[in-house]
Amino acid sequence: MHCARRIGTAAVAAFALGFTGLALAQWTPTKPVEFIVHTGPGGGSDLLARAVANMMEKEKLVPVRMQVMNKPGGNSAAAAAALAEKKDDPYTIGFITSVWIAGPLTSSEATITVHDLRPIAQLLLEPAVFAVRADSPYKTLKDFIEAAKARPGQLKQSGGSVTSRDNIIRQTLQHATGAKWAFVSFQGGGERLAALLGGHVDIMVIEPQEAGEQVRAGKLRVLAQLAERRLPGYPDAPTLKEAGFDVTPTPQIRAVVAPPAMPADAAAYWEERFAKLRETPSWKKYVQDNQFEDAFLPAAELKKSIAEIEKQLREQFVQAGVKVVR
Amino acid sequence: MIHSWRNGDFWSGLALAALGTYIVTAARRWTYMGEDGPGAGFFPLWYGGAMVVLSLLLVAGAVLKRRASVAPAVRWGDLGRALACWAAFVACIALMRVVGFAIAFALLAWFIVAVMARRPQRVALPIAIGGAVAFYALFELALDVALPRGMFF
Amino acid sequence: MDILSGLLQGFQVALTPANLVMCVLGVVLGTVIGVLPGLGPSATIAMLLPLTFRLEPTGAMIMLAGIYYGAKYGGSTTSILLNVPGESSSVVTCIDGYQMARKGRAGAALGMAAIASFIAGTFGVLMLMLVAPPLAELSLAFSSPEYFALMVLGLALVVLLAGASLTKALLSMLVGLWIASMGTDLFTATSRFTFGRVELIGGIEFIIVAIGVFAVGEVLGNIEPKKPADVLPVPKGLRNLLPTRDDMKRCRFAFLNGSLIGFLIGILPGAGSTIASFMSYGIEKGLSRHPEEFGHGAIEGVAAPEGANNAETGGALVPLLTLGIPGSGTTAILLAALVLWGFKPGPLFIHDSPAMFWGLVASMYIGNVLLLVLNLPLVAVFAQLLKVPGYAMYPLILGVSLVGVYAVGSSLFHLGLLALFGLLGYAMRKLDYPAAPLVLGLVLGDPMEKALRQSLMMSQGDLAILFRPIPSVLLALAALLLLIPLFKKLNAVRVQMVDKEA
């Protein structure tokens, strides 16, 4: 009888320990972690990834070294493929932007898309503003649209590729207002700005960060901002809605994804870490300095958001006359 | 006419004419002139077309040269050596996926020194192994520049 | 703040022990990076950024800038000794530099590269200091039609780069144009010539083609003779290790040419140092009294492009520091660094942060001197590399090529492309197709097409936009260049007729 009871107690004790053990068994990284980005060094995602690594280290959120791996090429195809190759590696995550969603829509060569990857969290939204030269006759976005209506196709906007946010918002506005103006694509941000400052185009969509100094120096005037709420840096510029245009710009997201088969506990770890990062003062300062919109979404919401954005983009591309392949 | 068979210009001209034709056919599938300006097919059509014209000119020139082939006769032995070296290079790259940079490079280096240059093993082996180690140490270890990884390293 | 007092303040800042150390660190690191293919200034600067947070911003910027222009000094080393371009902009140096090495004049080539870099680099800083703000405004007047005309002029230079057969040179250039157009079209998002491969969506990186055609092609060509063409002759004695007085005299125009062209092209956002070095090489050859020497070891063919790619750094800093517009990848990172440290690069930068601006300018003078002092003795060190026998050199060159290309995107596919272009390079050598026009077409093809389409978009299809004042002049020059062979032929016929009569 004693034996049985002893065994019984031992068994219960073991069971209890086991359970507590399970509850405590949380995955933490023990080897260096890699952040994959789709730009070369100095590109937007690269800088963000490096900043995040820096902040996480400073705030002691991650106990291991984090390094950035640049995989430029094919818009985001190379980076997506690299991430997919990692299969179930919990030590690799990728930083994505809306380009990862838009790119595969027009490239039939891309074999891996963002849907093949496991969403972790959305970190930020990138706002933008409409800017014209300070000596231009347009004081509000409405002025510009009216002028464009009066002279269809004569006014010009400088921007990036035909699938970029710059063009998409132009398509949306053209559709909504019936105005028509030309779009001139430039490879680099510097060239687009130079084209505007030099008077070769009339308007452009530009990141608030880039525009800041030009505005302060009196070279540019901001007509409206593509954001939900007014940015602290531009208290005087109306949002699109406030300016009377009932259009929602397709969000430019910055989010984190993981290889397709990353184990659940690792994924949960990363999601939680990024949620924690958001509460730190370094992050808040970073967001403010760079004039981003802090917009956190956990994994499940991110997945939905990606699907929505893709749907929106597909419609807008078709409207813009761009060939959509999937 | 027979002479043109030996003439490099003749064959390269034909190859380039073929390339040019391919470019033009591909370009025609894209828009030549869109509503905003030249489309994706504009440039390729022009340079592809120029390629066809110029390469045919080259072929014509090669065919019409009365004298026996202007270029010296092809030294097949030399060509063979170069192609062997190239094949080794390609093999080295293919092997990297399996054995990694260091071993693949060592093999390539050994091949060049021992087989192509016919140097004795006591020269070939140190160069091959030393070279591989030096590259690995300098780039992978010291500078943290990623080298192709095989199954082991 | 007037220039002299600004400069004085700058030297005060730059000559503090801490900042001097930063300068030395930067230029040494830059030289190392330039020499080693596989490492580029932009990657290194990006990697060092987090470390710079713990440093004082002016010092950090001095170091990063040192890496930027220091790398241009080192880039010529592998170009001359191994025919492997260390940086994209060093491709042109391969053409004559390597030929000089084969003739035993590697020391002179290396030395001249350093000297030309010094002269042009200093010129660039001088210009940055003197005329930056007004020039920056002027550069804004340069837009797509002007760029297009400039690129056309550049392509017309192919006439000058042609050897015996203009047809083959043109064909080579056309192949370059074709490779340049591979990838996704910016304007319509159409995929061109990607053969269904995901790796080709973004096109083929320039350096892969350059290293393949030049370096690998050269190795394949040299390995042919059964008796391996040995050792490149090693220059003996100090006199042979450096450029002679005669060399310096010959290069007087090259110094001017490189400095001016490099700086002017540097100011234009989007036009890079590779374009600058090609242009300056072409102009040098075109205006030379002995153009036939180019391509076979003319020392001006080293001085001009090397000068140009150094002056270009000064030029590229003009839009960055006076307008806040980055013209290239590396300047974009420098911009990001400035922003990170809390500076505001833009039209008010010089006014708001004179200490940073002038400190940087002063440190660049110091840096250029340091680099000259550093690189000249290194010539002797590097020249020893030539003692390595041919059969050991070839694996070295191939190994360096592999590392250099793999560093681009860590992709075995790129290595496969390298092998392909190596074969192409070899075929071109055997069949007498010049390689320089291919590279020229590759570099200029994409920007030229973009500039043309942008221009026509701006003008709604009206070709007249291409005949504004500046483009007209440039296009006229291009037309003239293209007519040179016609003149030559006519001249030859005329001479023949005169001979017949005599």
- Check: CB of residue A149 under 8 Å from CB of residue A179: yes
SS3 state at B36: coil
Is C194's Cβ below 8 Å from some Cβ in B?
no
Residue C386: DSSP 8-state: G
Chain C environment of A206 (Cβ under 8 Å) = none
Q: For residues C72 and C89, is the Cβ–Cβ distance under 8 A?
A: yes
As a whole number, mean pLDDT of residues A248-267 equals 90
For the record, the structure tokens of C428 come out as 């071109």
Question: Which chains have at least 3 CB atom pairs separated by less than 8 Å from chain A?
Answer: C
Spell out which residues of chain B touch residue C193, defining contact as CB-CB under 8 Å.
Answer: 23, 26, 44
Residue A200 pLDDT grade (very low, low, confident, very high; cuts 50, 70, 90): very high
Rounding to the nearest 10 degrees, give the CA dihedral for residues A112, C330, C211, B44. 60
A6 or A62, which is more confident: A62
> Using an 8 Å Cβ cutoff, are A64 and A33 in contact?
yes
Q: Which domain holds residue C19?
A: 3-501
Give the tens place of pLDDT for each residue, C112-154: 999 999 999 999 999 988 888 888 888 888 889 999 998 898 8
Q: Which residues contact C295 (CB under 8 A, 6 or more apart)?
A: C95, C96, C99, C161, C163, C301, C434, C436
**Cα–Cα dist A205/A132, whole Å:** 9
User: Looking at the predicted structure, is the pLDDT value of residue C234 above 70?
Assistant: no
Q: How confident is the model at residue A21 (pLDDT cuts 50, 70, 90)?
A: very low
Tell me the chain C residues in contact with residue B16 when contact means C-beta distances shorter than 8 Å. 171, 175
In the sheet with A156-159, reading across from the earlier edge strand, the strands are A182-185, A156-159, A203-206, A128-133, A220-226
Pairing of strands A66-70, A33-37: parallel
Cβ distance C344 to A212 less than 8 Å, yes or no, reads yes
Taking each helix axis from N to C end, the angle separating C3-14 and C106-140, rounded to the nearest 10 degrees, works out to 130
Q: How far apart are CA C487 and CA C480, in angstroms?
A: 10
Domain limits at B135? Answer: 76-142
Indicate the DSSP class of residue B111.
Answer: I
Condensed to tens digits (0 to 9), the pLDDT of residues C403-413 reads 888 877 778 88
Domains in chain A, start-ordered, CATH in brackets? 33-126+252-320 (3.40.190.150), 128-226 (3.40.190.10)
Cα–Cα distance between B38 and B18 in angstroms, integer?
25
Please say whether the beta carbons of A226 and A128 come within 8 A: yes
**Among the ranges given (C156-160, C310-314, C457-461, C477-481), the one the predictor scored with the smallest mean pLDDT:** C156-160
Instruction: Tell me whether residues C347 and A213 touch, CB distance under 8 A.
Output: yes
**Arithmetic mean of pLDDT over chain C:** 85
CB contact residues (below 8 A), chain C span 350-409, against chain B: 390-392, 394-396, 398-399, 402-403, 406-407
Among A131-145, C231-245, C471-485, where is mean pLDDT lowest? Answer: C231-245
Helix (H/G/I), strand (E/B), else coil: B106: helix
What is the bridge-based pairing of β-strands A182-185 and B37-38? unpaired
Confidence band for C187, pLDDT divided at 50, 70 and 90: confident
Provide the 10 A C-beta neighbour count for residue A216.
14
Q: What is the pLDDT averaged over residues A199-220?
A: 88
Å between B109 CA and nearest CA of chain C: 5
Q: Does C138 touch chain A (CB under 8 A)?
A: no
- Residue B153 placed within a domain: no
Question: Got the DSSP string for A30-71?
Answer: -S-EEEEESS-TTSHHHHHHHHHHHHHHHTT--SS-EEEEE-
The pLDDT value given to residue A12: 58
User: What pLDDT score does C38 carry?
Assistant: 67
CA dihedral C130, C75, C183, A207 (to 10 degrees): -40
Determine whether the interchain pair C178/B51 forms a contact, defined as Cβ–Cβ distance below 8 Å: yes
pLDDT recorded at residue B88: 93
Confidence of residue A4 (pLDDT cuts 50, 70, 90): low
The conformation of residue C227, written as its DSSP 8-state character, comes to S
Report which residue type is found at C45: I
Instruction: Tell whether C33 is within 8 A of chain B (Cβ).
Output: no
- pLDDT for A22 equals 46
> Is B34 a member of any domain?
yes
> Given this model, what pLDDT does residue C196 score?
83
Q: CA A284 to CA B116: how far, in whole Å?
A: 63
Contact C201, C466 (CB under 8 A): no
Residue C231 has pLDDT above 60, yes or no: no
Same domain? For B80 and B133 the reply is: yes
pLDDT tens-digit map of C48-67: 877 777 788 888 999 999 99
Strand-pairing partners, residue A298, are A121
pLDDT in tens, A41-68: 777 888 899 889 988 988 888 888 888 8
Q: Which amino acid is at C475?
A: L
User: How many folded domains does chain C comprise?
Assistant: 1
**DSSP code of B3?**
G
Residue C405, both tokens: 């290309």
List the single residue in A163, A186, A190 with the smallest CB-CB distance to C454: A186
Task: Count, in order, helices (H) and strands (E) of chain B.
Answer: 4, 2
Q: Is the pLDDT of residue A205 over 90?
A: yes
The answer to whether A234 and A214 are in contact (CB under 8 A) is no
pLDDT in tens, A278-320: 999 989 988 888 888 888 999 999 999 999 999 989 988 888 8
Has residue C230 got a pLDDT over 70?
A: no
Comparing C-alpha atoms, which of A188, A292, A93, A47 is closest to residue C454?
A188
Burial class (CB in 10 A: 0-12, 13-18, 19+), C492: exposed
Determine the average pLDDT of the residues in C191-207.
Answer: 86
Instruction: Say yes or no to pLDDT of C92 above 60.
Output: yes
pTM as predicted: 0.85
Residues B109 and B131 in one domain: yes
Triad A14, A16, A21: Cα angle to 5°: 90
Specify if B54 maps to a domain.
Answer: yes
- Paired with A96 in beta bridges are A255
Q: Per the structure block, which two tokens stand in for A41?
A: 């060094």
Domain membership flag for residue B70: no
The predicted-structure confidence for C365-385, as pLDDT tens digits, reads as follows 899 999 988 888 888 788 777
Q: Please state the rounded mean pLDDT for residues C168-177.
A: 93
Distance from the Cα of B16 to chain C's closest Cα (Å) equals 8
Do you know the residue count of chain B? 153
Please report, rounded to a whole number, the percentage of residues in chain C having pLDDT higher than 90.
23
- Structure confidence at residue A23 as a pLDDT band (50, 70, 90): very low
ipTM: 0.90
Which of B29, B44, B64 marks a domain boundary? B64
Give the number of other CB atoms < 10 A from CB of residue C113. 32
For residue range C267-309, what is the model confidence (pLDDT) as tens digits? 888 778 888 998 899 888 888 888 888 888 899 999 999 999 9
User: Residues A120-140: what's their mean pLDDT?
Assistant: 92
* DSSP 3-state of A166: helix
Residues B102 and B128 in one domain: yes
pLDDT above 70: percentage of residues in chain C: 96
| The domain boundary residue, chosen from B39, B64, B89 | B64
Q: pLDDT at residue C419 above 90?
A: yes
Neighbours of C230 (CB within 10 A): 12
Give the separation between CA A137 and CA A151, rounded to whole angstroms: 15
How much is the pLDDT for C435? 87
Q: How far apart are CA C5 and CA C105, in angstroms?
A: 44
Q: Degrees (nearest 5) of the Cα angle A215, A216, A220? A: 20
Among C68, C83, C3, C69, residue whose Cα is nearest residue C37: C83
φ and ψ of A268, to 5 deg: -65, -40
Which residues from B are below 8 Å from C395, CB to CB?
A: 105, 108-109, 112-113, 127-128, 131
Per-residue model confidence (pLDDT) at position A24: 41
Give the whole-angstrom CA distance, residue C491 versus residue C495. 6
- The Cα–Cα gap between C380 and C240 comes to 10
Contact C225/B at CB under 8 A? yes
Sign of CA dihedral A168, A170, A173, A177: negative
Which residues of chain C neighbour A70 with C-beta distances below 8 Å?
43, 409
Domain count along chain B = 2
Task: Give buried/exposed letters for B60-92 (b at 16+ CB in 10 A, else e).
Answer: ebbeeeeeebeeeeeeeeeeebbebbbebbbeb
Residue for token pair 């492997």: C84
Both tokens of B122, joined, read: 């006591």
Q: Domain check: are B6 and B51 in the same one?
A: yes
CA distance readout (Å), A159 to A227, A253, C38, C417: 18, 18, 32, 32
Work out the minimum CA distance from A74 to partner chain C, whole angstroms.
Answer: 4
pLDDT of C303-326, one tens digit each? 999 999 999 998 999 988 888 888
B36, B42 contact by CB (below 8 A):
no
- Distance from the Cα of residue C233 to its chain's centroid: 27
- Cβ atoms of residues C303 and C112 within 8 Å: yes
Q: Where are the beta strands (DSSP E) in C173-261?
A: 183-184, 191-192
- Give me Rg for the CA atoms of chain B: 24
Q: Cα-atom radius of gyration of chain A, to the nearest Å?
A: 24
Is residue C375 exposed (0-12), middle (13-18) or buried (19+ Cβ within 10 Å)?
buried
Q: What integer is the mean pLDDT of A83-109?
A: 89
* Nearest residue of A to residue C330, measured between CA atoms: A42
C-alpha to C-alpha distance for C100 and C117, rounded to whole angstroms? 18
Q: What confidence tier does A257 reach under pLDDT thresholds 50, 70, 90? A: very high
Residue spans of chain B under pLDDT 70: 1-6, 66-74, 142-144, 151-153
Burial class for A19, CB neighbours closer than 10 Å (0-12, 13-18, 19+): exposed
d(C-alpha C398, C-alpha C273), whole Å:
25
Kindly determine whether residue C399 and residue B105, on different chains, have CB atoms separated by under 8 Å.
yes
Regarding whether B49 and B11 lie in a shared domain, the answer is yes
